[in-house]
Structure 1
Amino acid sequence: MPTVMKMIVVLCLGAFLAAAAVPVHSAPQDRRSDQDAAREGRMQGRLLPLRAIEARVVPAMAKRGAQYIGFDFDSGTGIYTLKFLRNGNVIWVDVDGRTGQVMSQAGG
């Protein structure tokens, strides 16, 4: 029995070390570069400020009973994704950062 316990401990330790060796996703760095790209786009006049986009979309969604919970920005496409919560469901609204036009809505 002690040999079996040693094997289990060694296997668990090996699994732990293998899991620790897996690289961590660099989401915070990606998010930072998206923020930098959004700021640069606003300063160059290529993108609308987030507050202007929120002023167009949030009131319309609030009238439909949705609560605004945040946004994401994709620097590759210039699209803001505004996120809302209604009746326990998440709604994603994609907005063109250049024009402020709603492009699509999903969820809900």
Structure 2
Amino acid sequence: MKMTRSSLIAGLGAIAAMLVVTPVAHAGQRGEQDAARRAMLDGHTMPFSLIKRRVDAAMGGATYLGAEFNPSSNHYRLKYVKDGKVVWVDADGRTGDITGWAR
């Protein structure tokens, strides 16, 4: 009986820890998304879907993994995998033009 009670307490403790940690992990992503949306609504950037479409066309079938937005420069950094290598593509949020590549 004692072993079951301690297992239950440990399990509840683990669940409580996940509930506390999970919102913190998503808070940074949400702030970045909010900044990107504000920049688009204020006319400082193009909609992300248009930028991604332009970069996708230039990447020639690479697999898209995700993106980051830098609100101070209005630039996006999109992450792809091509030929087994990770490729970062920088794009100007105002024009959608590719401004740099990194492997």
TM normalised by structure 1 equals 0.66
1:80 aligns with 2:76: yes
**Aligned-residue offset at 1:86:** 1.2
Question: In structure 1, which of residues 43, 61, 64 is the aligned counterpart of residue 41 of structure 2?
Answer: 43
Deviations 1:33-62 (A, max 9, x none): 111111111111111011110111101202
**Structure 1 residue runs of 4 or more that deviate by more than 6 Å after TM superposition:** none
Spell out the pairing of 1:1-108 with structure 2 (5 A cutoff): 28-62=26-60, 65-107=61-103
Q: Looking at CA atoms only, which structure, 1 or 2, has the larger radius of gyration?
A: 1
Q: Distance in 2 between matches of 1:74 and 1:30?
A: 12
Length-normalised TM-score, structure 2:
0.69
For the 8 Å contact 2:39–2:71, the answer to whether it is kept is no
Gap runs ≥5 in structure 1: 1-23
Sequence identity percentage: 42
- Root mean square deviation, CA, Å: 1.7
CA distance in 1, matches of 2:30, 2:92: 20
In 2, the alpha carbon distance for the partners of 1:27 and 1:97 equals 25
The structure carrying a bigger helix percent of its residues is 2
Query: Gapped runs of 5+ residues in structure 2?
Result: 1-20
Superposed CA offset, 1:4-56 (max 9, x none): xxxxxxxxxxxxxxxxxxxx8x5532221111111111111111011110111
